[in-house]
Amino acid sequence: MKCNITRAGKRKIDNRMHYNEKKMRVLHKIIHKLCDS
């Protein structure tokens, strides 16, 4: 069976990846602050 991702489904996946990326960036900032202090 061929995996067919619709445009809406792809956008949802992209949004989730972008959201995770933002969370990771925030975590990195917090970690750097802890290391600096």
Q: What is the pLDDT along the chain (37 residues), one digit of tens a residue?
A: 455 667 778 888 888 888 899 999 999 898 888 877 6
- Tokens representing 37 are 């202090």
pLDDT value of position 11: 84
pLDDT value of position 2: 58
Closest CA to 20 of 35, 12, 2, 9: 12
d(CA 33, CA 20): 20
**Do the Cβ atoms of 5 and 13 come closer than 8 Å?**
yes
Q: What are phi and psi for residue 16, nearest 5 degrees?
A: -65, -40
